[in-house]
């Protein structure tokens, strides 16, 4: 008898906690949870670049900036200024993240720069390009995961889509696509939690290492159609143009980054998308009737409310941006939130409107560090949203629960607290 493969993680209320509740995550990290857009409104009509930490300008508790950094801090606010900073990595580098992410994820693409970053990114670039996400990721992982999650949703008429669709889908897709079995995906993801005691983080690191070392050994002996098999066979180009195979710790750090980044951000962004459509039923109906609007819908929701409000860069040399002098050693806070609401770029930018023409924005960053997995993330959201529209008839908020609200850290990790809905299952 054929054994059915499980593609997804089945989350329960007990799993909400730090990992699947944006406010709890923010609380554990010591972040404020004010809505960013209410705080940013006063900056929209001001200068494009201001000296000072974004948190101070917004009037919120410090979240990113630490006095231990030394150097000055600048806030980059307008579309043009944020674009210039993203597209000039020689001046605005990513080594600022050495102090923030290396402890948890190790030396990864996030904190690398220049040739080292390019050569390391080139290893996996073919596996995240649109044609590969439309084909391999979708056919092999996304569709099956969505179908499995909807099997559970079809058996009832109400759900918390945040916990039962948005959270498990990307975690399941990136984990199983990488080669981590679905029944170990939650354990692996928990092991990568940023927030905990030193002992908890060491224990988590040991758990992640144990799982990945086992999988790498297995895949070297018996390659499968997954990313770990591709990584252990991949060539990494070196500075002198020669190549070598990826080392175990390099594969592990790649995996840590992809599972961490791919699981969390798409979860929250898909939740924001469903929340926005439920709060704008006329736009949900328009999308239901005209799926050619799908791409514009994803582009608009990521512009209107990106899950992360700001990214950081290190100022590598004295420079002038939009007339403001910055000293080498300063930190630049690139505010995606204000740039994506720039009055000179969009009409009525604070409104959610899926009928806008397609236009570039910064939800996934830009330049050489533009999100590696953005095409995968968009594809996951499109397939999931299509299933929501096809299979959850008469979709509406569940009046038995409090109204969903945006939650999480003001500058990072925003998303709905829950998405309690009622619906009529549509079969076929």
Partner 1 sequence: MHETWEQAEYRQYSCLFCGHIYDEEEGDSDSGIAPGTRWEDISDDWCCPMCSAGKADFELI
Instruction: Tell me which residues touch partner 1 (CB under 8 A).
Output: 83, 86-87, 125-126, 128-131, 358-360, 364-368, 370, 372, 374-375
| Cα–Cα distance, 129 to 124 (Å, whole number) | 9
> In the complex with partner 1, which residue's Cβ is closer, 255 or 363?
363
What's the closest the beta carbon of residue 128 comes to partner 1, in angstroms? 7
> In the complex with partner 1, which residue's Cβ is closer, 320 or 358?
358
> In the complex with partner 1, which residue's Cβ is closer, 367 or 386?
367
What's the closest the beta carbon of residue 351 comes to partner 1, in angstroms? 21
| Cα–Cα distance, 78 to 195 (Å, whole number) | 32
> In the complex with partner 1, which residue's Cβ is closer, 129 or 152?
129
Task: Give the three-class secondary structure for 333.
Answer: strand
- What is the dihedral sign for C-alpha 282, 23, 303, 55? positive
Which element (helix H / strand E) includes 334? strand 331-335
Show the tokens assigned to 81: 């200024």
What's the closest the beta carbon of residue 137 comes to partner 1, in angstroms? 13
What's the closest the beta carbon of residue 166 comes to partner 1, in angstroms? 22
What's the closest the beta carbon of residue 27 comes to partner 1, in angstroms? 33
What's the closest the beta carbon of residue 364 comes to partner 1, in angstroms? 7
> In the complex with partner 1, which residue's Cβ is closer, 83 or 319?
83
> In the sheet where 331-335 sits, what is the strand order?
49-51, 73-76, 331-335, 310-315, 92-93
How distant, in Å, are the alpha carbons of 18, 25, 207 from that of 13?
12, 15, 23
> In the complex with partner 1, which residue's Cβ is closer, 130 or 223?
130
b/e burial code for range 359-391 (CB count within 10 A of at least 16 → b): eebbbbbbbbbebbbbbbbbbbbbbbbebbbeb
């Amino acid at each position: 008898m054929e054994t059915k493969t499980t593609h997804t993680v089945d989350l329960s209320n007990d799993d909400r906690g730090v990992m699947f509740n944006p406010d709890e995550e923010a609380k554990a990290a010591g972040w404020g949870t004010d809505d960013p857009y209410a705080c940013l409104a006063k900056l929209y009509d001001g200068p494009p670049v201001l000296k000072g930490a974004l948190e101070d300008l917004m009037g919120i508790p410090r979240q990113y900036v630490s006095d231990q950094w030394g150097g000055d801090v600048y806030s980059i606010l307008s579309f043009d200024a944020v674009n210039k900073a993203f597209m000039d990595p020689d001046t605005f580098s990513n080594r600022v993240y050495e102090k923030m992410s290396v402890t948890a994820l190790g030396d990864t693409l996030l904190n690398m720069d220049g040739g080292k970053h390019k050569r390391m990114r080139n290893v996996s670039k073919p596996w995240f390009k649109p044609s590969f996400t439309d084909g391999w990721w979708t056919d092999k992982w996304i569709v099956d995961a969505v179908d499995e999650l909807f099997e559970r949703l079809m058996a009832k008429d109400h759900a918390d889509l945040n916990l039962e669709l948005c959270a498990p889908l990307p975690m399941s897709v990136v984990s199983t696509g990488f080669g981590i079995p679905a029944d170990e995906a939650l354990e692996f993801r928990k092991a990568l939690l940023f927030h905990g005691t030193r002992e908890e983080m060491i224990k988590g690191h040991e758990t992640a290492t144990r799982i990945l070392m086992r999988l790498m050994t297995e895949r070297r002996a018996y390659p499968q159609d997954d990313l770990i098999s591709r990584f252990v066979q991949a060539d990494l180009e070196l500075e002198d143009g020669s190549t070598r195979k990826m080392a175990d710790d390099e594969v592990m750090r790649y995996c840590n980054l992809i599972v961490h980044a791919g699981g969390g951000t798409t979860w929250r962004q898909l939740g924001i998308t469903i929340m926005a459509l439920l709060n704008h039923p006329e736009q949900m109906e328009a999308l239901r009737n005209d799926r050619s609007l799908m791409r514009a819908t994803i582009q608009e929701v990521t512009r209107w409310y990106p899950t992360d409000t700001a990214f950081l860069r290190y100022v590598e040399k004295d420079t002038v941006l939009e007339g403001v002098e910055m000293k080498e050693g300063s930190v630049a806070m690139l505010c995606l939130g204000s740039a994506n609401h720039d009055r000179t770029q969009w009409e009525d930018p604070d409104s959610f409107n899926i009928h806008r023409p397609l236009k570039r924005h910064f939800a996934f960053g830009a330049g050489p560090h533009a999100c590696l997995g953005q095409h995968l993330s968009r594809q996951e959201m499109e397939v999931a949203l299509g299933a929501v529209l096809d299979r959850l008839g008469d979709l509406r908020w569940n009046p038995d629960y409090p109204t969903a609200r945006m939650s999480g850290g003001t500058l990072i990790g925003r998303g709905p607290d829950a998405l309690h809905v009622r619906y009529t299952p549509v079969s076929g």
